[in-house]
Structures are given as structure tokens and as C-alpha cells.
Amino acid sequence: MKRSFKKQLAMLIVVVALIAGYGISALAQSKIVSSPAPNVNPSERKSLGSKSAPITIEVFSDFQCPACRNFYETTLKLVIDNYVNTGKVYLVHRDFPLDMHPFSRQAARFANAAAELGQFESVERALFDHQDTWSPTGKIDEALASTIPAAELKKIHEIESQHATEINASIERDRTMGIQRNVNQTPTIYVTAHGKTEPLPGGGVDYRLLKQYLDYLLRQ
């Protein structure tokens, strides 16, 4: 009788210990999952180039907007090659998803999650390169499958769901900033140099004209 009581007590202790151990580990895991993103400014993760570059270009952009795609393909790619990669321009992406585009927020969340993994540049490029494919359906994974490996896509989606609150807040912060700065179309571009910020005409700019302006600013 005594022995069976001891046995039952031992089993109870083991069960309680197991439950407690499982609980503590689950709690710790949930703490890891819900821990905030590393303490880096979200805008910095969505930026290219050196922060100490003499010129900063901010682009309020919507991944589903055709004018943004056109601006990215014909102007920004060349700016990245010739000015960002040479340390002359710091390029900042600002999310400004327009309500008229049903999948632009989804794309922005995806790009922000990729930014947390340090893959903003490649995902931004892929989103614009394949805009025609995902834009009508919102099937971003299918459209980007040829460019981004499945494992990477999975990782990005994991970050997207784990950091959903921070990502949505980051997008909303950019949008609010745009509204405060009277952004009413995408792309809207701001150029800051020598302590002065100038908005460029909305809707995108030809590379040759932007180049002339950037070269002028660099000569100053």
C-alpha cells in the first residue's frame, strides 16, 4: 500500500514536472516567436546604399502600381547601379499602398518580411519584374517561384506571420508619413541633398533627367 502510494507520488511528480517543463519551454518559445524584430529602424532595412551618401532619394511606392514598376525598371535600376552602388545615393523605399490596388498591401507585407531577412533588394526587384503575373490574382509565391527558392519564400512567410504586427505598423508609418507630406500619387520621389529636400514631379522621372539633376547636386 505504502509502496503503491510512493509509486503514485513519484508518477505524479514526473507528470507535473513534464507538464511544467513543457509549459515553460512553450512559454519560452512563444516569447521567442513574439519577440520584437531586431532593433533596426524598419526604413533602414528597406533602404539601399550608404546612409552617409551625399544624396538621399525617398520613393513612396506601391508594388502593384504600373507607374511604380515602370519607374523602377527604367530609372531606379540604373540609379541603383550608377549612384547607390557607388556610394553617391542612399535610396529609401517608403510603402504607400493605394486602396485601388487590392494586392499592394499583401506585396508590401511580403517585401517588409523579406527586408527583415536582409533580402529587400532582391524581393523588390522580383515583385516589380513579375508584377504583370501576380497583380491580377495576388498569387505572389507562384509569380516569384522562378526567382526566389521555395525555402526562402517559406522563410519570408514565416517572418511575415511572426512579425505581422510590426510589419503592418511599419507600412502604416510610411503611409502616414506620405499623407503628412501630401503624397497623392505613386511613385512620389523626394531628393534630399545639402540639407534641402525637394519633391520631384509625381508619376516617375526619366533616368536621363534624374541623372542630370543628381550630377548637378553632386557638383554643388
Q: Which is nearer to other proteins, 66 or 138 (CB)?
A: 66
d(CA 51, CA 92): 10
- The residue among 97 and 204 lying less far from other proteins, judged by its C-beta, is 204
- The answer to whether 54 contacts other proteins (rule: CB under 8 A) is no
Within the chain, residue ranges assigned H as helices are 2-33, 42-45, 66-71, 77-79, 104-116, 120-129, 131-134, 140-144, 150-162, 164-180, 207-219
Q: Give backbone dihedrals phi and psi of 100, rounded to 5 degrees, phi first.
A: -70, -15
Which of 125, 207 has the CB closer to other proteins? 207
- Decide if 58 contacts 190 (C-beta within 8 A): yes
Annotate each residue in 171-210 with x if it binds other proteins (CB under 8 A) or - if it does not, as one string.
-----------x-xx------------xxxxxxxxx-xxx
81 is written with which cell numbers? 547601379
* Stretch 55-84: interaction string toward other proteins, x if CB under 8 A: ------------x-----------------
Which residues contact other proteins (rule: CB under 8 A)? 67, 182, 184-185, 198-206, 208-210, 212-213, 216
